Chains A and B, each alone.
Chain A
């Protein structure tokens, strides 16, 4: 008997011990709590963000005492008053909102044909190439990409040098609004294509062929078949692009050169330039609110698109 027992592999005996341990500390009648036990680490991690929001809300209700540089003890709404009345913040908010809307429209127009080509092409090599071209910048990070644009668009950059060769005066291509929007479009393209592509995959190619055989040219097929069926993907992509570009920091900071601040830059400046944590927190909380309202509005207007929760599970 003893010999047979030692013949068990070590891993079996370890597993047996673990099972016995698990059964002892976790009797079967607690089974209903198992999913919650498995969710607990993730819930706790995200809890840090909730704590952060509470902390922001608390700080936003305190004003900065400019003589002592301490936050006031009692709560006041003075920061909200300042954030909503000072024209600087209205300018920045309008710039961000209009900018992100323009970026969303341009990005969707550019991303849709790319996603269509990627899904529909019969060449596996072309599909892989398009996918790699998409993922590489996505993984490289914003700062390096913005750095690349600085080299290309700078005063002594590639574009201006090329202009010089054909006799065009150097143009100031950086540190203006279009430069920021251009950088944002480039940053958002991978997100938009990856959100739109699954919706295009779901459209059967026979539908397009059928439209064609009934006499529709490709423009009409696109307008009446592909675009309406791809709507969930386009809405999902639009929401992601809109919220990400509305709240972006790096592109306005690097390609805007401080003159084209978006909301995120204004918040950063309140914390690290003027050290007014109260006002900075107020702006941050307002941004969270604007972002959530915008997403909620789009959800109610167009539906949740590919972002819908029930689609994540079968």
Chain B
């Protein structure tokens, strides 16, 4: 079975290469955050938690993180109702101009991020809304909205329309049918969609960079501005906050809907 063996070796060589590429930055940032030295060196100069103590006391980092949380919350609060309703409507009803509507709703993915960001910046500038934080949340919602609609419409498509007819047949008025039959069926999609929206808005960089000014920088923008000047270990420590958030999101996603869902063929 030399054939099977060589297949195994080649496949594993690729998989390990990709695993190393994907994980190396995360592991290195984690390691660098625990250094005892004032510089990031290899091998590290001993272990300490002093950089975590430093970022706990740094108000600019904390404020930037809170602003990122605020942006992500606004984004999710808008995306959940808008995306859920749109996803259900697309999966359940045969709308006129269905194709056009779908292409239109995919615009956030087909327009390059820099184009969307510049456009939103000009629009918000005209409306005198630049310099505030909530429009950044709205912008993050717009650019990632297709994720939410996809997640919900995939769930809604697997809902048997006969169930809703059965509910109506048992005397349930339209709103009751919606809240007791339709909505529970799409909950897995709503959960995975809103998780995606929250975490993507939390670490959204380019659109934030275009829409914020120096007074209201979000955490990814702050890190970007700092690594352009000097790389100190406190940045590694604050980056670990992102790694922790991402780990929590992966864990939740796996627990609530299962990561395997992304391997299913449509």
Contact = CB atoms under 8 A, between A and B. Distances in A.
To the question of whether A and B form a pair in one complex, the answer is: yes
B89 A35 contact: yes
B170 to A, nearest CB: 15
Contact of A116 (B11, B89, B111): B11
A139 B42 contact: no
A13 to B, nearest CB: 13
Contact-residue size bin, chain A (C-beta under 8 Å from the other chain):
35 or more
A139 B249 contact: yes
Contacts of B4: 218
A34 B26 contact: no
B111 A133 contact: no
A267 B110 CA distance: 18
A24 interface: no
B85 A268 contact: no
Interface string A27-40: 00000001110110
Nearest to A145: B25
A46 B119 contact: no
B105 interface: yes
Given A42-B83, A128-B259, A137-B22, A147 B104 contact: no
Contacts of A59: 122
Interface in A141-160: 141-152, 154, 156-158
A62 B112 CA distance: 22
B231 A56 contact: no
A116 B12 CA distance: 11
Given A51-B123, A131-B259, A143 B223 contact: yes
Interface of A: 15, 18-19, 22-23, 34-36, 38-39, 41-43, 45-46, 48-53, 55-56, 59, 110-111, 113-114, 116-119, 127-128, 130-152, 154, 156-158, 161-162, 185-186, 189-190, 193-194, 197-199, 201-202, 217-218, 243, 246-247, 249-250, 253-254, 263-264, 267-268, 271, 277, 280-281, 284-285, 287-288, 291-292, 295, 306, 309, 311-314
Given A291-B110, A314-B157, 14 more contacts: A38-B86, A42-B85, A52-B115, A132-B259, A136-B23, A140-B246, A141-B246, A149-B25, A156-B40, A161-B42, A162-B42, A201-B264, A247-B113, A249-B205
9 contacts: A22-B175, A46-B108, A110-B18, A110-B21, A117-B15, A136-B250, A151-B32, A264-B113, A281-B122
